């Protein structure tokens, strides 16, 4: 079984300042864990390319992409930083990292569809699932998973894809982009109320939103997934599955108050993989979203990759 692993040094250069939870050390912690545990030997490493902005405009408006490019390129040229919202800082290195993160998702999609790997994981930042069609927010600039899903549909000719989001925060940006697109089924579980304080009422019939209260533990989450996600995925029969892989629902992560542990992420990944094997020839592209306790993040990504790689 072949699992591709996409990343790039540019994704570490985007640094929103001391003490910011979405920090470059997140990727370092993951890499260190993969090397220490030997998981790295089972992965095929690939360098994330720069995304073609035409692919980005499958998910984001032309005006948004042009305005963001103008802002971020200007910051890069001047060596300046700029707060785009109270939580999100654009830096001189953000434009390159943003292009690499979306580029990884698109290239991983092509690699998997072309048979070069059965599945792929994109260890990239900035994350993407809060970026709406027209707005930067929540640490996110381009919506990497939505860009990749639309690429699979619009450029590669698939008819049905699923997006699975298990970040502790609702993927409001992804929902904004794909709600009402009957080619996409999005299933998600997230703490509510919690940033971005929406998602309890889905925007479209192609959404299965599962809001859960603080302190919900893993066995309860598993029961909800079995009752709500899995039947919807079975009915939909996706030809490819994209994962917004946020690991901040871990009980050690301070940005949320859910109670998941590594065995829960292992179970969730296996259930997703089972659906992919039944309906999508095993095709999965997973992209890193949240996860801010470095140790818990590294361990959780490790079990996620063990399942994807079958080791």
As a whole number of angstroms, the distance between CA 275 and CA 213 comes to: 27
As a whole number of angstroms, the distance between CA 263 and CA 283 comes to: 22
Output the pLDDT for position 99.
98
List helix spans (H) across the chain. Answer: 10-13, 25-37, 53-56, 62-78, 94-113, 144-150, 172-178, 218-224, 230-236, 262-279, 294-309
Output the pLDDT for position 134.
98
Flag whether pLDDT at 191 surpasses 70: yes
DSSP summary character for residue 157: -
User: Which residues participate in catalysis according to the annotation?
Assistant: 130
Output the pLDDT for position 211.
98
Which domains, and CATH codes, for the chain? Answer: 3-309 (3.40.800.20)
- The structure's pTM equals 0.98
Could you tell me which residues are beta bridge partners of residue 217?
259
Of residues 305, 307, 162, 171, the one with CA closest to residue 246: 171
Flag whether pLDDT at 1 surpasses 90: no
As a whole number of angstroms, the distance between CA 269 and CA 306 comes to: 9
Mean pLDDT of 53-65: 98
Angle at the Cα of 264 from the Cα atoms of 290 and 267, rounded to 5 degrees: 110
Mean pLDDT of 48-70: 98
Work out whether strand 88-90 and strand 82-85 pair parallel, antiparallel, or are unpaired.
Answer: antiparallel
Mean pLDDT of 79-86: 96
Of residues 81, 106, 71, the one with CA closest to residue 17: 81
Could you tell me the maximum CA-CA distance found in the chain, to the nearest angstrom?
52
- Average pLDDT, rounded, for the chain: 98
Flag whether pLDDT at 284 surpasses 70: yes
Q: Tens digits of per-residue pLDDT, 18-55?
A: 999 999 999 999 999 999 999 999 999 999 999 999 99
Flag whether pLDDT at 141 surpasses 90: yes
């Amino acid at each position: 079984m072949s699992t591709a692993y996409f990343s790039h040094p540019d994704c570490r250069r985007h640094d929103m300042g001391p003490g910011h939870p979405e920090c470059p050390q997140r990727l370092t912690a993951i890499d260190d864990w993969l090397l220490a545990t030997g998981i790295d030997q089972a992965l095929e490493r690939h360098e994330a390319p720069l995304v073609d902005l035409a692919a980005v405009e499958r998910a984001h408006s032309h005006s948004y992409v042009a305005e963001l490019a103008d802002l971020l390129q200007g910051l890069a040229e001047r060596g300046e930083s700029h707060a785009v919202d109270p939580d999100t800082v654009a830096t001189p290195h953000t434009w390159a990292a943003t292009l690499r993160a979306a580029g990884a998702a698109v290239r991983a999609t092509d690699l998997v569809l072309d048979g070069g790997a059965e599945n792929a994981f994109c260890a990239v930042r900035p994350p993407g699932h809060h970026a709406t069609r027209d707005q930067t927010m929540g640490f996110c600039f381009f919506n990497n998973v939505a860009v990749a899903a639309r690429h699979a549909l619009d450029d590669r000719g698939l008819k049905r894809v699923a997006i699975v989001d298990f970040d502790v925060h609702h993927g409001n940006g992804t929902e904004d982009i794909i709600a009402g697109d009957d080619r996409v089924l999005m299933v998600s579980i997230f703490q509510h109320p919690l940033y971005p304080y929406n998602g309890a009422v889905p925007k479209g019939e192609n959404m299965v939103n599962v809001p859960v209260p603080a302190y919900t533990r893993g066995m309860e989450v598993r029961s909800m997934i079995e009752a709500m996600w899995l039947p919807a995925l079975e009915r939909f029969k996706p030809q490819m599955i994209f994962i917004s892989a946020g690991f901040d629902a871990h009980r050690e992560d301070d940005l949320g108050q859910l109670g998941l542990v590594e065995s829960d992420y292992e179970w969730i990944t296996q259930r997703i993989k089972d659906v992919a094997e039944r309906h999508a020839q095993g095709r999965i592209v997973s992209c890193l979203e949240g996860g801010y306790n470095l140790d818990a993040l590294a361990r959780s990504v490790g079990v996620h990759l063990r399942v994807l790689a079958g080791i």
